[in-house]
Amino acid sequence: MKKIVILFSGQGSNLLNLIDQLHMRHCEVVAAITNRPDAPGIEKAGQQGIHVDIIDHTHFTSREAFDGELVRQINAYKPDLVVMAGFMRILTPVFTQSVKAINLHPSLLPLFKGAKAIERSFESDKADGGVSVHWVSQELDGGAVIDQRSFTRSEDETLESFTLKIRKIEHTLLPETIITLLSSDK
Ligand code: GRF
């Protein structure tokens, strides 16, 4: 069975969803890694029997030093693929040049790269919102898009309903993309 490592920083709803949909069915979630010791996802993943490593980025003097430790811990698990699901870190070449990773981003890339993508797409004049999964490269949210899914906003859309639609798409698009990638072994 193929192995994945999941990186996250916060609530971990995508992490939990991946554990639920994929673990020991389509692949093995060998570990999750977070940069935030207070991430609510830590306890939830633990309850599902997934080991979580904490690498507190505030303990490192440079991005490269943090990335070096992250790469070291990832490599110890020998994963076939690394999945960034709500992992809020800008990565350096120390990471991007040695780890095969995909990232989940809550917009139709190349639109709205970076932080607050949901808010910025909601506030834009675009009729559609959506979600992208892309390869991680040196450019923030700029690697090749693997898959995207969109929706057309309704007339009475609020930021809350817009966000919920994005969450729902994330929870199908990301696991489907992982299954496809692992089975085609790209
Ligand atoms: C998701 O919207 C993801 O696209 C973004 O951060 C959010 C993570 O949420 N990059 P969660 O931690 O999976 O609940």
pLDDT of residue 181: 97
Q: Report the share of the chain in percent with pLDDT over 70.
A: 99
> pTM for the full model?
0.96
Band (185; pLDDT cuts 50, 70, 90): low
For residue 84, the CA-to-ligand 1 centroid distance in Å is 9
* Cβ partners under 8 Å of residue 109, min gap 6: 132, 134, 141, 142, 145, 148
At residue 149, does pLDDT exceed 90? yes
At residue 184, does pLDDT exceed 90? no
Average pLDDT over residues 59-79: 98
CA separation, residue 115 to residues 88, 144, 160, 177 (Å): 9, 19, 17, 23
CA angle 44, 3, 178 (to 5 degrees): 80
**26-49: pLDDT as tens digits:** 999 999 999 999 999 999 999 999
At residue 59, does pLDDT exceed 60? yes
Counted residue by residue, the chain has a size of: 186
- At 150, which helix (H) or strand (E)? strand 145-152
Average pLDDT over residues 154-174: 97
At residue 159, does pLDDT exceed 60? yes
Instruction: Name the H helices within the chain.
Output: 13-22, 41-47, 63-77, 93-96, 117-123, 159-184
At residue 186, does pLDDT exceed 70? no
Q: Which atom of ligand 1 is nearest to the CA of 87?
A: 10
* Cβ partners under 8 Å of residue 53, min gap 6: 31, 32, 33, 34, 73
For residue 150, the CA-to-ligand 1 centroid distance in Å is 17
Alpha-carbon dihedral 175, 178, 183, 186, rounded to 10 degrees: 160
Q: Mean pLDDT over all residues of the chain?
A: 97
For residue 166, the CA-to-ligand 1 centroid distance in Å is 10
Q: Which atom of ligand 1 is nearest to the CA of 17?
A: 13
Fold (CATH) for 3-184:
Rossmann fold (3.40.50)
Report the residue among 11, 14, 20, 103 best suited for mutation to probe ligand 1: largest number of ligand atoms under 8 A from its CB: 14
Q: Report the share of the chain in percent with pLDDT over 90.
A: 98
Report the residue among 33, 113, 170 best suited for mutation to probe ligand 1: largest number of ligand atoms under 8 A from its CB: 170
For residue 105, the CA-to-ligand 1 centroid distance in Å is 8
**108-127: pLDDT as tens digits:** 999 999 999 999 999 999 99
Q: How many whole angstroms separate alpha carbon 104 and alpha carbon 176?
A: 12
Domain ranges of the chain: 3-184
Q: Which residues are catalytic?
A: 105
Q: Whose alpha carbon is nearest atom 3 of ligand 1?
A: 86
- With a Cβ cut-off of 6 Å, ligand 1 is lined by 8, 10-15, 85-86, 104-106, 170
Average pLDDT over residues 165-171: 98
